[in-house]
């Protein structure tokens, strides 16, 4: 080929090229290529699948739908079919997705060494735990904060098999078990709030943090339609206009921890007006109430005016389906007294079996786990105090789904117990205050990553049961603690009867008579069955425990789930919802009314020191008439020394102020009536 | 004057170059530009629609929040295929490799839109699915998936570079949509073509 031939050939090829797609397509594609750099991450193009799940982070157990794309959770939506969610998404349920990739998550098993934590394998972690447990037989203790899960059965069976002690974290569920036990009942207390036409909340922050608050809030919303007349009256009695009181039809100012006394005062008025109950122990109840709960006395003790008390009693008596729900203002520390007194009042109102029911507890399916009541019998507060003070020994202390080093009274002593125990194991998903102190961390998978179940939280309307299955790929090298403990039991030569936690859940479904395939799809099982056993009213008028501490002001801790719970720190997504009346910069804000501030010699915006029986904290003062006179309100949820950048070092932990006292009548520690002193810092 | 004899062969090199480039442009170039892939499982829409009596919405539905479910995941399929139901080896493979292993099938999507476009199925639900998608209800064996290696765009089930649909069933020509296609349809239907409508 000579030059001319080549040029002719090229001319032909060029002419041909013009009628091929090459120049036009390449130009087009090159422009698209520059808009879609191949190395940029792409949004996964998979099915958006809404899987049903019951939130384990939300103490009210609300069911939600998790939007899943290609094994990744991308959002949370309400589930109108779930009896505890009713279509709402609570802050904590929303956090189920947001916290999956939290920087605070423990990413693999960690072993504490002289220089800090080091990552180890699961096999190593299980070998270490097995060794420690076999050496510590007789001095093993485990604390669980999971009030609704069957995992407790595995833990209790394992600990019992090692002659150890099993404890549940204190809270409303433990209070309810103790109250029912003292009154001769067994099971769980259920409130039929859906059908109540008059609801009185005594202390219980039931639309925000107490019981099945997500469901309660939905029912409140249904009974209070916008622009129309309310179909039920809601009244809140407590020291602070909290998230429950602020929407209720009436807020009655009552001192912290006054629920039982107010309930007994109402009972007294009703009985004076002729109310009777065909119940065991009624005579004794009536006599004790008549002796100690005259309206004037109740007014002195609780701050609830006698005329207001009489008016509420009249309204309760006139209502068709009244309902009284009592508890601690911050969900713990009230002991059993408030619940017993409110059950007595509900009986007098003729609502036992109507607005209030006793429903069966979860049936045990793991051999050696004992009954639910047995697992709730022991009080963890004196045990941890004993460990901190060296009185009680714990060669191995295991903590599941709880953060006792942060979320209990006398926080420093509780944290010290973690340090004093010979070997502490945390199963926390997050690097919380307890995990930070542990010798070994074996991180639990989060709700959307694991098999788990949820049986009837305290205050639900009926027995409910939900099963969760792994919906998303595990974000990190975590495992389901229940499965880990089954494996450890097997290594110890113990046969708990199940190879996997999933098998336990299947057995539970069978015992309940629920459809496994339906549960597995996220559908909740419910049962209308209720106990017809009569409760003994005699213990309902148990004497009040004296206020704890010598301060001039009553302390009202306030829980808002957007600031976190006693287990989980503030979810990052709610950081923007924190108000400057709760946190100023990184300083906790406490609230009191103008009269209290004047009496205490402090001014709005001033930094003060609060001194309680459990410890001290500094805070800024905000003057608000949403707090009753003589009370200082302190938000719980701040002051973390662990977790992530959103929570660590932000504010101070009000749990530090609290101290617990023994209640000899019930055997449970109480800390809902603490007093504090305030001074300019 | 003696005319110098040509040694170039006249028009022949031009013709050869012309034809060679046509061959390269229309045959070699598409082979190089498009990668070919088959679906991991031979999924038959025909069997599900004709034999199973299913409708499109049984698997491709709108969620409560208005989002489109897209391609069902293994769990949804396992509601029927928890065990092998028929004698089709593809079904057996699906049950063994995906349902029993709780794995998702990496389905190849013929109509993936690029990430810089927000496309709402809910906003287009008054249109027939086949306006944009092939009529999969008549599809027994999924077509080969052709992907443009430069852009990452799918060319539907059709490998011809441009003039999509030329010479083949147009039903198999619908791949990743180009902007002009969106704009034209919007214009024809009186919808806004403002940038933010699709680029959010």
pLDDT in tens, B12-43: 999 999 999 999 988 898 888 888 899 999 99
Give me the pLDDT at residue A165, please. Answer: 96
Shortest Cα distance from B62 to chain A (angstroms)?
Answer: 10
SS3 A165: strand
Residue pair A201/A234 in contact by the 8 Å Cβ criterion: yes
The two structure tokens encoding residue A521: 């799809």
DSSP β-ladder status, B145-148 and A553-558: unpaired
Task: State the Cα–Cα distance between residues A203 and A258, nearest whole angstrom.
Answer: 7
SS3 A631: strand
Assess whether pLDDT exceeds 70 at residue B155: yes
Residue pair A50/A67 in contact by the 8 Å Cβ criterion: yes
Nearest by Cα to B20 from A498, A38, A8: A8
Assess whether pLDDT exceeds 60 at residue B2: no
The alpha carbon of A549 is separated from its chain's Cα centroid by a whole number of angstroms, namely 27
* B196 Cβ contact partners less than 8 Å away, ≥ 6 residues apart: none
What φ, ψ does residue A537 adopt, rounded to 5°?
-85, -10
Q: Which residue of chain A is at minimal alpha-carbon distance from B62?
A: A48
Question: Could A21 and B29 be called an inter-chain contact, meaning their C-beta atoms sit closer than 8 Å?
Answer: yes
**ipTM, interface predicted TM-score of the complex:** 0.83
CB contacts < 8 A, A to B, total 132
Give me the pLDDT at residue B8, please. Answer: 54
Question: Which H or E run includes A632?
Answer: strand A631-635
Task: State the Cα–Cα distance between residues B103 and B101, nearest whole angstrom.
Answer: 5
Interface of A with B (CB under 8 A): 1-2, 4-6, 8-17, 19-22, 24-26, 29-30, 32-33, 35-36, 38, 40, 42-43, 45-50, 65, 67-68, 70-71, 77
Residue pair A14/B19 in contact by the 8 Å Cβ criterion: no
Query: Between A110 and B150, where is the model more confident?
Result: A110
- From chain B residues 178-197, the ones with a CB under 8 A of any chain A CB are none
* A200 Cβ contact partners less than 8 Å away, ≥ 6 residues apart: A235, A237, A312, A316, A322, A323, A324, A325
Give me the pLDDT at residue B67, please. Answer: 82
pLDDT in tens, A606-655: 999 999 999 999 999 999 999 999 999 999 999 999 999 999 999 999 99
Task: State the Cα–Cα distance between residues A560 and A243, nearest whole angstrom.
Answer: 8
Phi-psi region of A86 (alpha: psi -120 to 50; beta: other; left: phi over 0): left
How close are the terminal C-alpha atoms of chain B, in Å? 74
> Looking at the partner chain, which of B7, B70, B75 has a beta carbon nearest the beta carbon of A48?
B70
Q: Select the residue from A1, A21, A44, A51 to test the B interface by mutation, using most B Cβ atoms within 10 A.
A: A21
Task: State the Cα–Cα distance between residues A331 and A342, nearest whole angstrom.
Answer: 15
Q: Which residues of B touch A13 (CB under 8 A)?
A: 17-18, 20-21
Task: State the Cα–Cα distance between residues A127 and A442, nearest whole angstrom.
Answer: 12
What φ, ψ does residue A337 adopt, rounded to 5°?
-65, -45
Q: pLDDT averaged over consecutive 10-residue blocks of chain A (681 residues)?
A: 89 93 88 83 74 96 92 92 96 96 97 96 98 95 97 97 96 95 94 97 97 97 96 98 97 97 97 94 95 95 96 98 97 94 96 95 94 94 93 91 96 92 97 97 98 96 96 95 98 96 97 93 92 90 87 96 95 94 96 97 96 96 97 97 94 96 90 95 78
Domains plus CATH for chain A?
Answer: 48-100 (2.20.25), 110-172+369-526 (3.40.50.740), 188-359 (3.40.228.10), 553-680 (2.40.40.20)
Query: Between A316 and B74, where is the model more confident?
Result: A316
Assess whether pLDDT exceeds 80 at residue B1: no
- Adjacent-strand bridge partners of A140: A396
Give me the pLDDT at residue A551, please. Answer: 93
Task: State the Cα–Cα distance between residues B120 and B103, nearest whole angstrom.
Answer: 27
- Adjacent-strand bridge partners of A610: A617, A678
Q: Which residues of A touch B7 (CB under 8 A)?
A: 2, 4-5
* Mean pLDDT confidence for B65-91: 87
Please report which confidence band the pLDDT of residue B151 belongs to, taking 50, 70 and 90 as the band edges.
confident
Please report which confidence band the pLDDT of residue B86 belongs to, taking 50, 70 and 90 as the band edges.
confident
Give me the pLDDT at residue B173, please. Answer: 53
**How many other CB atoms are found less than 10 A from the CB of residue A101?**
12
Residue pair B171/B130 in contact by the 8 Å Cβ criterion: yes
Question: Could B18 and A49 be called an inter-chain contact, meaning their C-beta atoms sit closer than 8 Å?
Answer: no
Q: Which residue of chain A is at minimal alpha-carbon distance from B71?
A: A47
User: From residue A42, how far is each of A36, A46, A70, B122, B200 by CA, in Å?
Assistant: 9, 12, 13, 22, 16
Radius of gyration of chain A (CA): 28
The interaxial angle of helices A172-182 and A337-348, nearest 10 deg, is 60
Task: State the Cα–Cα distance between residues A432 and A437, nearest whole angstrom.
Answer: 9
Q: Which residues of B touch A32 (CB under 8 A)?
A: 114, 150-151, 153
Task: State the Cα–Cα distance between residues A393 and A417, nearest whole angstrom.
Answer: 10
Long-range contacts of residues B177-185, Cβ cutoff 8 Å, at least 24 apart: B177/B111, B177/B113, B177/B132, B182/B117
* B126 Cβ contact partners less than 8 Å away, ≥ 6 residues apart: none
DSSP state letters, A394-431: -SEEEEES--TTTSSSSHHHHHHHHHHSSSEEE--SB-
Q: Which residue of chain B is at minimal alpha-carbon distance from A79?
A: B64
DSSP state letters, A324-359: EEE--TTSSS-TTHHHHHHHHHHHHTT-BTTTEEEE
Residue pair B147/B37 in contact by the 8 Å Cβ criterion: yes
DSSP β-ladder status, A424-426 and A440-441: parallel
Share of chain B above pLDDT 90, in %: 24
For Cα atoms A498, A499, A501, give the angle at the middle one, nearest 5 degrees: 75
Question: Could B69 and A43 be called an inter-chain contact, meaning their C-beta atoms sit closer than 8 Å?
Answer: no
The two structure tokens encoding residue A373: 């009541």
Residue pair A382/A662 in contact by the 8 Å Cβ criterion: yes
Question: Could you tell me the maximum CA-CA distance found in chain B, to the nearest angstrom?
Answer: 91
Q: Select the residue from B11, B17, B66, B106 to test the A interface by mutation, using most A Cβ atoms within 10 A.
A: B17
Shortest Cα distance from B14 to chain A (angstroms)?
Answer: 4
Map A191-213 to HEC letters. Answer: ECHHHCCEEEEECCCCCCCCCCH
> Looking at the partner chain, which of A9, A25, A45 has a beta carbon nearest the beta carbon of B16?
A9
* Mean pLDDT confidence for B107-119: 86
Residue pair A183/A537 in contact by the 8 Å Cβ criterion: yes
Shortest Cα distance from B105 to chain A (angstroms)?
Answer: 10
Task: State the Cα–Cα distance between residues A349 and A357, nearest whole angstrom.
Answer: 13
Q: Which residues of B touch A473 (CB under 8 A)?
A: none
Query: B111 touching A, CB under 8 A?
Result: no
DSSP β-ladder status, A72-78 and A63-69: antiparallel
Question: Could A77 and B29 be called an inter-chain contact, meaning their C-beta atoms sit closer than 8 Å?
Answer: no
Give me the pLDDT at residue B9, please. Answer: 66
> Looking at the partner chain, which of A29, A40, A70 has a beta carbon nearest the beta carbon of B150?
A29
- Adjacent-strand bridge partners of A144: A168, A400
Question: Could A13 and B112 be called an inter-chain contact, meaning their C-beta atoms sit closer than 8 Å?
Answer: no
Task: State the Cα–Cα distance between residues A174 and A673, nearest whole angstrom.
Answer: 18
Question: Could B22 and A20 be called an inter-chain contact, meaning their C-beta atoms sit closer than 8 Å?
Answer: yes
Question: Could A5 and B115 be called an inter-chain contact, meaning their C-beta atoms sit closer than 8 Å?
Answer: no
Shortest Cα distance from B18 to chain A (angstroms)?
Answer: 4
Question: Could A12 and B112 be called an inter-chain contact, meaning their C-beta atoms sit closer than 8 Å?
Answer: no
Question: Could you tell me the maximum CA-CA distance found in chain A, to the nearest angstrom?
Answer: 125
Please report which confidence band the pLDDT of residue B131 belongs to, taking 50, 70 and 90 as the band edges.
confident
Question: Could B64 and A65 be called an inter-chain contact, meaning their C-beta atoms sit closer than 8 Å?
Answer: yes
Question: Which H or E run includes A112?
Answer: strand A110-113
pLDDT in tens, B46-72: 999 888 888 888 888 888 778 888 888
Task: State the Cα–Cα distance between residues A390 and B37, nearest whole angstrom.
Answer: 69
Q: Which residues of A touch B148 (CB under 8 A)?
A: 29
Give me the pLDDT at residue B179, please. Answer: 85
Q: Which residue of chain A is at minimal alpha-carbon distance from B17?
A: A13
* A450 Cβ contact partners less than 8 Å away, ≥ 6 residues apart: A444, A468, A470, A480
Please report which confidence band the pLDDT of residue B112 belongs to, taking 50, 70 and 90 as the band edges.
confident
Query: B167 touching A, CB under 8 A?
Result: no
SS3 A465: strand
């Amino acid at each position: 080929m000579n030059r001319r031939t080549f040029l002719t050939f090229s001319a032909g090829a060029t002419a041909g090229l013009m009628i091929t797609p090459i120049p036009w397509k390449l130009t087009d594609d090159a422009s698209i290529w520059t808009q879609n750099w191949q190395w940029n991450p792409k949004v996964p193009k998979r099915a958006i699948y809404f899987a049903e799940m019951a939130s384990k982070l939300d103490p009210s157990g609300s069911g939600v739908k998790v939007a899943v794309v290609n094994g990744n959770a991308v959002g949370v939506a309400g589930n109108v079919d779930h009896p505890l969610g009713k279509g709402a998404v609570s802050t904590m349920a929303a956090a189920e997705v947001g916290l999956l990739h939290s920087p605070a998550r423990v990413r693999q098993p960690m072993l504490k060494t002289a220089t800090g934590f080091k990552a180890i394998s699961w096999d190593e972690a299980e070998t270490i735990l097995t060794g420690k447990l076999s050496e510590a037989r007789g001095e093993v203790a485990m604390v669980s904060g999971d009030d609704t899960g069957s995992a407790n059965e595995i833990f209790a069976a394992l600990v019992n098999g090692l002659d150890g002690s099993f404890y549940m974290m204190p809270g409303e569920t433990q209070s309810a078990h103790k109250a029912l036990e003292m009154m001769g009942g067994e099971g769980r207390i259920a409130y039929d709030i859906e059908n109540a036409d008059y609801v009185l909340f005594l202390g219980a922050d039931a639309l925000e943090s107490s019981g099945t608050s997500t469901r309660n809030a939905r029912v409140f919303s249904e009974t209070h339609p916008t622009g129309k007349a309310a179909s039920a009256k809601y009244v809140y009695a407590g020291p602070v206009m909290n998230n429950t009181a602020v929407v209720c039809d009436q807020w009655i100012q009552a001192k912290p921890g006054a629920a039982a006394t107010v309930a007994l005062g109402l009972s007294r008025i009703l009985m004076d007006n002729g109310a009777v109950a065909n119940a065991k122990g009624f005579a004794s109840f009536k006599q004790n109430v008549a002796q100690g709960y005259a309206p004037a006395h109740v007014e002195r003790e609780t701050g609830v005016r006698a005329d207001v008390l009489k008016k509420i009693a009249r309204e309760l008596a006139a209502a068709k389906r009244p309902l009284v729900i009592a508890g601690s203002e911050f969900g713990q520390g009230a002991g059993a007294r408030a619940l017993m007194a409110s059950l007595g009042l509900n009986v007098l109102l003729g609502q036992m079996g109507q607005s209030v029911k006793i429903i069966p507890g979860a049936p045990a399916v793991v051999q050696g786990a004992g009954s639910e009541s047995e697992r709730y019998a022991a009080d963890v507060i004196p045990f941890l105090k004993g460990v901190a003070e060296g009185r009680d020994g714990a060669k191995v202390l295991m903590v599941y789904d709880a953060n006792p080093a942060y979320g209990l009274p006398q926080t420093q002593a509780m944290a010290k117990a973690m340090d004093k125990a010979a070997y502490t194991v945390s199963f926390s998903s997050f690097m919380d205050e307890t995990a930070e102190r542990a010798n070994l961390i074996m991180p639990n998978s989060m709700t959307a990553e694991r098999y788990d179940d949820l049986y009837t939280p305290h205050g639900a309307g009926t027995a409910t049961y939900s099963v969760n299955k792994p919906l998303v790929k595990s974000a990190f090298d975590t495992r389901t603690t229940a499965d880990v403990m089954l494996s450890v039991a097997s290594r110890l030569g113990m046969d708990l009867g199940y190879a996997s936690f999933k098998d336990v859940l299947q057995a539970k479904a069978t015992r309940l008579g629920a459809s496994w395939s339906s549960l597995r799809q996220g559908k909740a099982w419910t049962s209308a069955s209720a106990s017809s056993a009569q409760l003994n009213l005699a213990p309902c008028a148990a004497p009040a425990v004296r206020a704890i501490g010598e301060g001039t002001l009553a302390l009202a801790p306030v829980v808002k789930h957007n600031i976190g719970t006693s287990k989980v720190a503030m979810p990052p997504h709610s950081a923007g919802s924190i108000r400057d009346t709760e946190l100023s910069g990184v300083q906790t804000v406490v609230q009191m009314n103008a009269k209290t501030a004047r009496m205490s010699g402090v001014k709005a915006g001033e930094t003060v020191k609060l001194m309680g029986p459990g410890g001290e904290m500094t805070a800024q003062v905000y003057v608000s008439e949403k707090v009753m006179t003589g009370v200082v309100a302190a938000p719980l949820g701040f002051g973390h020394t662990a977790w992530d950048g959103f929570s660590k070092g932000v504010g101070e932990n009000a749990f530090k102020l609290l101290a617990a006292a023994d209640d000899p009548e019930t055997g449970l520690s109480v800390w809902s009536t603490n007093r504090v002193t305030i001074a300019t810092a | 004057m003696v005319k110098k004899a040509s040694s170039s062969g006249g028009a022949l090199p031009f013709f050869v170059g012309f034809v060679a480039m046509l061959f390269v442009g229309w045959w070699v170039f598409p082979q190089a530009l498009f990668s070919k892939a088959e679906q991991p499982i031979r999924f038959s829409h025909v069997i599900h629609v004709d034999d199973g009596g299913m409708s499109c919405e049984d698997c491709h539905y709108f969620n409560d929040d208005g989002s489109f479910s897209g391609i069902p995941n293994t769990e949804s399929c396992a509601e029927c295929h928890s065990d092998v139901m028929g004698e089709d080896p593809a079904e057996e493979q699906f049950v063994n490799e995906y349902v029993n292993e709780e794995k998702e099938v990496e389905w190849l999507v013929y109509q993936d839109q690029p990430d810089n476009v927000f496309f709402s199925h809910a906003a287009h639900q008054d249109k027939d699915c086949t306006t944009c998608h092939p009529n999969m209800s008549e599809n027994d064996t999924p077509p080969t998936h052709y992907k443009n290696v430069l852009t990452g765009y799918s060319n539907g089930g059709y490998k011809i570079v441009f003039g999509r649909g030329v010479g083949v069933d147009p039903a198999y020509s619908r791949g990743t949509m180009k902007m002009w296609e969106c704009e034209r349809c919007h214009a024809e239907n009186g919808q806004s073509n403002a940038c933010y409508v699709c680029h959010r």
